[in-house]
């Protein structure tokens, strides 16, 4: 059967808005053993989408941005390992490293899972890239090497500091370490304390508090801290979290969602867990090792049982399909630049009005028309 026609939002040059035109689509026989073709019904937006759109990252143009998608399985090679997990028509969610802003997207079978029956696409689509990123840094052999989450894991008496617990990556990190038995100690703004606690954080601290370093060190040094994960704060998160690690009486492992620079300046007592630029595992292989915490292990069952929360909650910006992607990228950029004011603007765009008390962290979503 001839593959269906495909369209994509093309990035033709840095700092240009996306342009919609045709794109190629692999035939079902071209997918190979571990790839699945998905017809997309919902796309989630990440900060990297506007950052990659705005800057010249040395990428080969034209290219297609976008990572998080949910939809229905359109094709899988019969008899392949992927076909033993997914069938045509299955409702699925997952992510790819760019190439997501298309009508039809190819996903790795290790980086996708079925959508629970009672869930709309807009819900699990928020998770893909962020849970995989969190899992890699928390559980990966090159990073914090924490114990994996599992249903009913007993508390192990150790803590993990999640710096930036209200971010999309942090929202997943809190849930994952808590499900593995650790006490999640998190930082965020005061307005997000309830949100972060609702994800399972044992203690929450305001990172803008002048005494936050001392308060966190006192908390972490009450017992054994298994590590620090910096999940937000592009400009200053690493420095602030390293300050905590250095002041602790324990030698603390530290991993970050943003590259840690000037390693020669890292103080004693901080064990940075980071690969050198030349040793990075390429996409998508870097996410495969830790799928026991995500798509191939803990996540599907925890999601279906309600143990794992959809966080940050989805905020549907439009249902214009590909025609609505650029608007959502622009709103994500506004959130990145203006913080809470940007989030309010997104609420007003989505709901027509905003009640200050209802503004929580959100993940922007575009749905198929
Ligand atoms: N999204 C991904 O999948 C992904 C993948 C790889 C790497 N990363 C990196 O991970 C980081 C988080 O990404 P994200 O998508 O999760 O971001 P996000 O959801 O847009 O996070 C924004 C939130 O981060 C918090 N924040 C900002 N500055 C902070 C600071 N100095 N200390 C603590 N919290 C701070 C703020 O929380 P409050 O409102 O509570 O102040 C803000 O609302 C980014 O720096 C990104 O480069 C993300």
Task: Identify the residue whose C-alpha is closest to ligand 1 atom 18.
Answer: 167
Q: Specify if 226 maps to a domain.
A: yes
| Residue-wise pLDDT tens digits, 88-117 | 999 999 999 999 999 999 999 999 999 999
pLDDT of residue 265: 93
Q: What is the pLDDT of residue 190?
A: 96
List the domain range (segments joined by +) for residue 99.
1-127+310-369
- Say if 199 falls within a structural domain: yes
> pTM, whole model, 2 decimals?
0.97
Helix/strand/coil for 8: strand
In the sheet with 6-11, reading across from the earlier edge strand, the strands are 19-23, 6-11, 63-64
Q: Is 118 exposed, middle or buried (0-12, 13-18, 19+ CB in 10 A)?
A: exposed
Q: What is the distance between the alpha carbons of residues 196 and 164, in angstroms, rounded to a whole number?
A: 10
- Side-chain-facing half-sphere of 192: CA atoms under 13 Å: 26
Pair 136, 271 in one domain: yes
Ligand 1 is surrounded, with C-beta below 6 A, by 46-47, 129-130, 133, 163-164, 166-169, 187-189, 192, 207, 231-234, 236-237, 257-258, 361
Task: Report the distance separating Cα 41 and Cα 52, nearest Å.
Answer: 23
Predicted local confidence at residue 1, as pLDDT: 57
Reported as type and span, the H/E element at residue 304 is helix 298-305
How many domains does the chain contain in total? 2
User: Do 322 and 358 belong to one domain?
Assistant: yes
Mutational test site, ligand 1, from 45, 55, 167, 356, max ligand atoms within 8 Å of CB: 167
Assign 358 a pLDDT band (cuts: 50, 70, 90): confident
* CA atoms within a 13 Å half-sphere pointing along the CA-CB vector of 49: 32
265 inside domain: yes
- Domain presence at residue 290: no
Atom index in ligand 1 nearest the CA of residue 67 equals 3
Q: What is the mean pLDDT of residues 13-42?
A: 94
pLDDT tens profile 233-290: 988 999 999 999 999 999 999 999 999 999 999 999 999 999 998 999 999 999 999 9
Residue 139: give its domain's CATH number: 3.40.50.720
Q: What is the DSSP letter of 204?
A: E
Tokens matching residue 181: 């038995």
Query: Percentage of residues in the chain with pLDDT exceeding 90?
Result: 93
Give percent above pLDDT 70 in the chain: 99
- Is residue 139 located within the same domain as residue 269? yes
The residue whose CB lies within 8 Å of the most ligand 1 atoms, and thus the one to mutate among 48, 67, 68, 164, is 164
Q: What is the 3-state secondary structure (H, E, C) of 330-357?
A: HHHHHHHHHCHHHHHHHHHHHHCCCCHH
292-308 b/e (C-beta count within 10 Å ≥ 16 → b): ebbbbbbbbebbbeebb
| Same domain flag for 233 and 320 | no
The CATH number of the domain where 353 resides is what?
3.90.180.10
Query: Is 153 in the same domain as 114?
Result: no
H/E segment holding residue 54: helix 47-54
Ligand 1 atom nearest 235 alpha carbon: 31
Which string of DSSP letters, residue by residue, matches 128-169?
A: HHHHHHHHHHHH-TTTT-PPPP-TTPPP-SEEEEEETTTSHH
Tell me: do 247 and 223 sit in the same domain: yes
13 and 119, same domain (yes or no): yes
Mean pLDDT in residue range 196-205:
98
Determine, yes or no, domain membership for 301: no
pLDDT of the residue at 2: 62
Best mutation site among 232, 256, 274, 286 for ligand 1 pocket (most ligand atoms within 8 Å of CB) = 232
User: Ligand 1 centroid to 171 CA: how many Å?
Assistant: 10
Over 80: is that where the pLDDT of 227 sits? yes
Q: Which residue, judged by its Cα, is nearest atom 34 of ligand 1?
A: 164
Given a cut of 90, is residue 191 above it in pLDDT? yes
State yes or no: pLDDT of 211 exceeds 70. yes
pLDDT at 169 over 90: yes
pLDDT (mean) for 13-37: 94
| Centroid of ligand 1 to alpha carbon of 320 (angstroms) | 27
> Considering only CA atoms, which residue is closest to atom 31 of ligand 1?
233
Q: Which of 94, 101, 106 is nearest to 25 (CA)?
A: 106
Q: What pLDDT is attached to residue 21? A: 97
pLDDT in tens, 311-343: 999 999 999 999 999 999 999 999 999 999 999
Residue range 10-30: mean pLDDT, rounded:
93
């Amino acid at each position: 059967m001839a593959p269906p026609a495909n369209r994509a939002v093309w990035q033709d040059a840095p700092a240009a808005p996306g342009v919609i035109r045709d794109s190629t689509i692999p035939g079902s026989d071209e997918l190979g053993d571990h790839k699945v073709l998905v017809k997309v019904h919902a796309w989630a937006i990440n900060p990297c989408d506007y950052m990659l759109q705005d800057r010249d990252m040395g990428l080969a143009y034209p290219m297609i941005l976008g990572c998080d998608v949910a939809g229905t399985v359109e094709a899988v090679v019969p008899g392949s390992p992927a076909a033993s997990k997914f069938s045509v028509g299955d409702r699925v969610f997952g992510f790819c490293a760019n190439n997501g802003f298309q009508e039809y997207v190819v996903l790795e079978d290790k980086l996708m899972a079925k959508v629970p029956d009672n869930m709309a696409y807009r819900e699990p689509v928020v998770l893909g890239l962020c849970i995989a990123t969190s899992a890699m840094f928390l559980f990966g052999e090159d990073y914090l090497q924490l114990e994996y989450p599992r249903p009913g894991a007993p508390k192990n008496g150790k803590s993990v500091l999640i710096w930036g617990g209200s971010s999309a990556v942090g929202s997943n990190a809190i849930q994952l370490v808590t499900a593995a038995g650790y006490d999640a100690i998190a930082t965020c703004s005061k307005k997000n304390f309830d949100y972060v606690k609702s994800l399972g954080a044992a203690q929450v601290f305001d990172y803008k508090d002048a005494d936050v370093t001392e308060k966190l060190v006192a908390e972490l040094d009450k017992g054994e801290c298994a590590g620090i994960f910096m999940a937000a704060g592009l400009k200053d998160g690493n420095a602030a979290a390293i300050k905590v690690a250095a002041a602790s009486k324990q030698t603390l492992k530290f991993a970050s969602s943003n590259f840690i620079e000037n390693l020669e300046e890292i103080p004693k007592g901080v064990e940075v867990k980071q690969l050198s630029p030349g040793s990075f595992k390429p996409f998508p292989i870097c996410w495969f090792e830790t799928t026991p915490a995500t798509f191939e292990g803990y996540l599907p069952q925890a999601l279906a049982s309600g143990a794992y929360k959809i966080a940050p909650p989805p905020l549907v910006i439009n249902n214009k399909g590909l025609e609505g992607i650029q608007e959502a990228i622009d709103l994500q950029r506004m959130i990145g630049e203006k913080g809470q004011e940007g989030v309010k603007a997104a609420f007003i765009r989505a709901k027509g009005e905003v009640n200050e008390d209802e503004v929580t962290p959100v993940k922007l979503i575009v749905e198929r028309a």
